[in-house]
Chain A
Amino acid sequence: MTSVPANAIGHAHGHAGGMELGKFIRMYVFSLDHKIIGLQFLFSTLLWFLVGGLLALGIRWQLAWPWSDMPVIGRMLFSGEGGQIAPEFYTTLFTMHATVMIFFVIIPILAGAFGNYLIPLMIGADDMAFPTLNMLSYWFMWPAFFCIGSSFFMPGNGAGSGWTSYPPLSVVQDAAPSSGLSQTMWLLGVTFVGVSSMMGSVNYMTTIIQMRAPGMTMFRLPLTIWAMFITAILQAFALPVLTAAGFMQVTDRLINTGFFLPEGLIVNNSAAASGGGQPLLWQHLFWFYSHPAVYIMILPAMGMVSDIMSCFARKPIFGYKPMVYSISGIAGLGFIVWGHHMFVSGMQPLLGMAFMVSTMMIALPSAVKVFNWLGTIWGGRLTFNTPMLFALSFVSMFVIGGLSGIFMAATPVDIFIHDTYYIVAHFHYVLFGGTAMAVFGAIYFWFPKMFGRMMNDSLGKVHFFLTFVFLNGTFYLMHVLGAVGFPRRLADPYDYKIFEHLQPVNQFITICAIGMVASQALFAFNFFHSMFFGERAGRNPWKANTLEWMAPSPPGHGNFDFQPIIYRGPYEYGSPEVATDYYPQTQPPPPGVKAKPSSGH
């Protein structure tokens, strides 16, 4: 395409001082353009990231100074309790922190924001296969936002049975104040997120299979796209189970079907309305989705980190195919490890043994990936700019999160550390130290493409430094707490004799957490300031190889102003065939050099 139509950012202003409302809505609100939809996801999820972070601070406040008045905002939020966090609200805090972070931030920012933005650009397509479906996948997030957001103002003030929503607590309305209407809204909200993700997955799979530019074989795809592709498959196969389980819980709650309630249940001195079911059934169905979901929350980050690292090491990715196979291996094994969430749940212990073996083995592809990342920077020419620092920190933090997983995989050890802060440390190292750091890196990396301007690198480095230091201050000592047996989800653990001396560590953690959230102000400032005043980027500011950098920044509607033809893989940095240290996928080989046959057949 040679013309750049009006849908592109920067061409937004029509003649005579503005455009018609209808046109504006079609372009920016109900847009069919994958880039606008990606940005819509990005802005929504970043906003929810802030909400999730503040909810986390509520949890940290309570753990550091239980039952004390929260300064300034306590009076506004909890006027009924005189500025304190009530124990039932504490359960809402950790439930909603996890719900928001998982369903409104991590999953949609990876697949929704980056998947949408990058897939067509990196494979050389002009848009997604199903643009309308794509638009719907974003707009189905809004009912979810509404359900979860409004539940804070409903009886019970938000769901409070954990993001895992285990019955009978979540099903029996007498069991907790928050198990009333709030819980139904929670289930509906999560279902809407599921519908949105499903629409996205179908679209991503079809687009990647069908719409690659000429010459873009599967084994010339950047690892980001491989990761998005496999993530989409995971989503598509795991989500129906969660959706079905969600509906079963809704019917248990509303019309007493009793899928998850055993016979003879007496809660809060009154008999439950139905029975004959099994509480463990929910756990199996829930984790059958939610364990693969853990990989949905990390694989795209791994892909993006690989692309960033190869670019700033100026070196091909080490072991491209082993990287692809290990992503596939993680995805495959990811379907048969869900039982490791249930080692002490009452599940048959023999089954626990089988799940223990599969869980141990899933550490293998992760280890292979780490070694390949190390191989990638070995012998390179490293540039330590903000995206690269975040990408390197992903490796450093993911190693911690990966290794601590082995403790939990070991069933006898899990008996002691299950549901303690050891697991809290583990998944925060993977999800914050890993995914969130990768997402920051990805934002700094692709920002110039999204907005045509650079983010400030010095400010970015300060942001990186503070986040990195505070993140470790916050999460590292949680391992130590877990080793004492310090349990999760307790509003006031210090009445136990065994835990009473742990308050100072928790205060240290809380101070670091406050520092970590506060440091994000630098990021927010950098983001919005650079959007309007950043240095102009040009098409390829990082001298990268992949296709998106061949398009204008930002790309217009239809993405490319030429027909991309792909001659080679995405990581040909330092190739001897050319004088430059990069060799874009679309650059024809110099005369006399025969194009390498694609290895993808």
Chain B
Amino acid sequence: MGRFWSLLFLSVPILGTLAFVLAIAGVGPFRDHWLPENVNDYGGVIDQLFMFILYLTGVIFIGTGVALFWFMWKYDAEKNAKPAVYMHGSHALEIVWSVLPAATLLFIAIYQMNAWADQKMRRPVAEAGPDGIEGTEDDVLQAPIVEVTGRQFEWRIRYAGKDNVIGTPDDVHGVNDLHLPVNEDVVIQIKSMDVLHSFFLPHVRVKQDVVPGMKQFVWFHGNKSGIYDIVCAELCGWGHYKMRGKMTLESREKFDAWLAEQYAEQERSGFQPKTGADEND
């Protein structure tokens, strides 16, 4: 039976690797069962890191899986008459398998720091500040083009409008239907009115929990027009599953036309939005 059990354990790295290979290749039943298409210029780095860690851990997964199989196969008491080796360990080996993983892990940690900072800490800059040099502390950060507020169970949307300031009478309001210009940096201000939600845009690799009482910003640079999902990724109550929105990325001209049309529609209907920096003040 030792042979059977060894092979069962060998099937773990074999089938495990196979499943990932099929998913990455998108073959047969695994069609579109991998990272969805990335349409954000800044999102590719996340996919690259994902794949980098996948290859690295894949080697260790296969290595340890095969070693486990081989030791089970070779040292099966039924097949192997040799007495067990009486030893308590090896100092040299302990050093090797502590130092190598430590160095690798530390490398991964440092290697990705920049990507993290780009995603969450370096909001796009509108213009260099008084000193005329970009990348210094007095840079003027790009203003949000739109504000998205999570609320059980919808995304309320408020565009800054012509004056580029959120909370003024020319704001354009909407629900669950987010339009954004493609091929430029966009900054979105996100908030919550009631409970926690998470603003998840899978196709642009953006995810940020929205927290009531906190104003946060996310940004990306869309590079392909289309309609994409807005997912709520943090439990927000019984209707969490239906808190869906859609994001339309379109050319600047189309976007401007759409926004103007929305504004005109809003004027016609006599909609009187509350103004002020915070909708729920």
A residues with a Cβ closer than 8 A to B are 86-88, 90-91, 160-162, 166, 168-169, 172, 175-178, 262-268, 278-280, 313-322, 344-346, 349-350, 352-353, 356-357, 360-361, 363-364, 367-368, 370-372, 374-375, 377-384, 389, 392-393, 395-396, 399-400, 403-404, 406-407, 409-413, 415-420, 461, 465, 468, 472, 476-477, 479-481, 483-485, 487, 489-493, 495-498, 501-502, 504-505, 571, 573-576, 581
Contacts and interface: CB of A to CB of B under 8 A. Distances in A.
Nearest to A263: B213
Nearest to A312: B77
A360 B101 CA distance: 10
A169 B237 contact: yes
Given A318-B89, A485-B36, A573-B84, A491 B49 contact: no
B75 A379 contact: yes
Contacts of A317: 88
Contacts of A166: 196, 234-235
Contacts of A485: 35-36, 200, 202, 231
Interface in B184-232: 193-196, 198, 200, 202-203, 205-214, 216, 228-229, 231-232
Contacts of B202: 416, 484-485, 498
Given A403-B57, A495-B242, A419 B234 contact: yes
14 contacts: A263-B213, A266-B194, A313-B75, A319-B93, A363-B101, A374-B68, A381-B75, A382-B75, A399-B61, A415-B46, A477-B19, A484-B35, A490-B240, A496-B244
B46 A487 contact: no
B132 interface: no
A317 B2 CA distance: 21
Interface string B145-189: 000000010000000000000000000000000000000000000
B35 A364 contact: no
Contacts of A574: 83-86
Contact of B213 (A264, A352, A368): A264
Given A491-B240, A498-B202, A319 B121 contact: no
Contacts of A490: 240-241
Given A322-B94, A344-B207, A419-B234, A412 B34 contact: no
A367 B32 CA distance: 33
A404 B12 CA distance: 15
Given A384-B1, A415-B206, 11 more contacts: A176-B237, A317-B88, A318-B88, A344-B198, A344-B207, A381-B77, A382-B71, A403-B60, A407-B50, A412-B112, A485-B202
Interface stretch (B103-111, B249-257, B267-275): B103-111
Interface of B: 1-2, 5, 8-9, 12, 15-16, 19-20, 23, 29-36, 45-46, 49-50, 53-54, 56-57, 60-61, 64-65, 67-68, 71-72, 75-77, 80, 82-90, 93-94, 97-98, 101-102, 105-106, 108-109, 112-113, 115-117, 119-121, 152, 193-196, 198, 200, 202-203, 205-214, 216, 228-229, 231-242, 244, 278, 280-281
Contacts of A160: 238
A280 B101 contact: no
Contacts, number: 334
Nearest to A178: B238
* 6 closest residue pairs by CB, A with B: A262-B213, A379-B85, A319-B89, A88-B238, A485-B202, A349-B120
Nearest to B69: A396
B115 A412 contact: yes
Contacts of B19: 476-477, 479-480
B8 A468 contact: yes
Contacts of B68: 374, 377, 392, 395-396
A379 B87 contact: yes
Contacts of A396: 9, 12, 65, 68
Contacts of A266: 193-194, 280
B106 A367 contact: no
A319 B94 contact: yes
B225 to A, nearest CB: 16
Given A349-B121, A487-B200, A496-B244, A168 B105 contact: no
B200 to A, nearest CB: 7
A484 B33 contact: yes
Contact of A352 (B67, B120, B196, B232): B120
A218 B127 CA distance: 64
A374 B64 contact: yes
Contacts of A480: 19-20, 23, 30, 33-34
A376 to B, nearest CB: 9
B254 to A, nearest CB: 21
Contact of A361 (B16, B76, B106, B214): B106
A91 B240 contact: yes
B240 A267 contact: no
Contacts of B33: 480-481, 483-484, 502, 505
A380 B86 contact: no
A505 B22 CA distance: 13
Contact of A360 (B5, B30, B109, B233): B109
Contact of A406 (B57, B203, B213): B57
A406 B101 CA distance: 12
A99 to B, nearest CB: 14
Contacts of B206: 415
A168 B116 contact: no
B208 to A, nearest CB: 6
A314 B209 CA distance: 52
Contacts of B64: 370, 374, 395, 399
B72 A483 contact: no
Contacts of A383: 77
Contact of A400 (B5, B61, B82, B278): B61
A363 B109 CA distance: 12
Nearest to B98: A368
Nearest to B89: A319
Contacts of B31: 501
A413 B231 contact: no
Contacts of A477: 19
Contacts of B213: 262-265, 278-279
A353 B84 contact: no
Contacts of A384: 1-2, 5, 72, 76
A114 B152 CA distance: 44
B281 to A, nearest CB: 7
